Amino acid sequence: MTRDEIQRVVERHQAWLKNPELGERANLRGADLAEAELAGVNLSKADLCGANLSKAKLQGSDLRAVNLSICADTTEADALGTSVNLNRADLTGADLTHAKLTNAHLSEALLVDAKLSFADLSWANLTGADLSGAMLSRAYLIRTDLRGANLSGADVMRGNLRGANLRRAKLVRTNFSRANLGGANLSGADLRDADLTDADLTAADLTGALLVRAKLNYADLTGANLTGADLTGASLGWVKGLKPHVSH
């Protein structure tokens, strides 16, 4: 799409948000929006499934309840190809509350201080993404690939990360209280000063993880692998399933 075409769609969408009779909901399915300048634009409720937003500038954009997942009318065979491409996109401070981002490509995306509460990021690729300070409370990150991602200072309270891959992720001071991390891969992750109070870590892989000063009170570590993990100064009150030989 040309810059003028994008502008017209955005303008019609702004009018639609104010009065549905005066505008039209943005339909950008499969649109090529690579490197598009959309900072601060209100795209809430827009349909962006399958769109290419790689390297797009979306700082401070309103993307609440937007559809950024695979298109509902695609077959299973070509579903991956229609997943939204947000690789290296700048979504700093963007509001993605309740957004659908299942299977989305967000590798190395900037999501610093982004609002992602209740968003569905299940099966998404967030390898190397920067989510530091992001709000992810009650977000769905089931089987999400977060290898090497930075979630330091993020709020993931009550988030569902079952089976997520957080290998070597930076999770310093991250709030995972009451989060579901069952079966997650946290090997080599940096969890210094992280809050894992009452978190579900059953069958999680924590081999070689840094858990220095982490809060693990009431956490469930049943079946978790803590081989080589550093729990120096960690709070371990009323922890379930912690093997007696684990040092702290």
For 57-78, write each residue's pLDDT tens digit.
999 999 988 877 756 443 332 3
Lookup result for tokens 């968003």? 119
Kindly report the backbone phi and psi dihedral angles of residue 186, in degrees, each rounded to the nearest multiple of 5, phi listed first. -115, 25
pLDDT of residue 221: 98
Nearest to 227 by CA among 214, 200, 245, 215: 245
pLDDT of residue 23: 96
Nearest to 115 by CA among 138, 91, 97: 97
Task: Please give the average per-residue pLDDT across 208-217, as a whole number.
Answer: 98
Residue 38, token pair as written in the block: 């959309």
pLDDT tier, 84 (very low <50, low <70, confident <90, very high otherwise): confident
Task: Please give the average per-residue pLDDT across 48-63, as a whole number.
Answer: 89
Looking at per-residue pLDDT, the higher value among 247 and 77 belongs to 247
pLDDT tier, 1 (very low <50, low <70, confident <90, very high otherwise): confident
pLDDT of residue 232: 97
pLDDT of residue 193: 98
pLDDT of residue 73: 42
Residues ≥6 apart with Cβ < 8 Å to 200: 179, 180, 181, 182, 219, 220
pLDDT of residue 244: 60
pLDDT tier, 246 (very low <50, low <70, confident <90, very high otherwise): low
Residues 110-163: pLDDT tens digits?
Answer: 999 999 999 999 999 999 999 999 999 999 999 999 999 999 999 999 999 999
Q: Is the pLDDT of residue 79 over 50?
A: no
For residue 245, count CB atoms less than 10 angstroms from its CB and return exposed for 0-12, middle for 13-18, buried for 19 or more.
exposed
Residue 74, token pair as written in the block: 């695609």
- In the chain, the N- to C-terminal Cα span, in Å, equals 57
pLDDT of residue 3: 86
Give the percent of the chain with pLDDT over 90. 76
Which of these ranges, 92-106, 112-126, 166-180, has the smallest mean pLDDT? Answer: 92-106
Mean pLDDT of all residues in the chain? 91
This prediction has a pTM of: 0.88
CA–CA separation, 81 and 45 (whole Å): 22
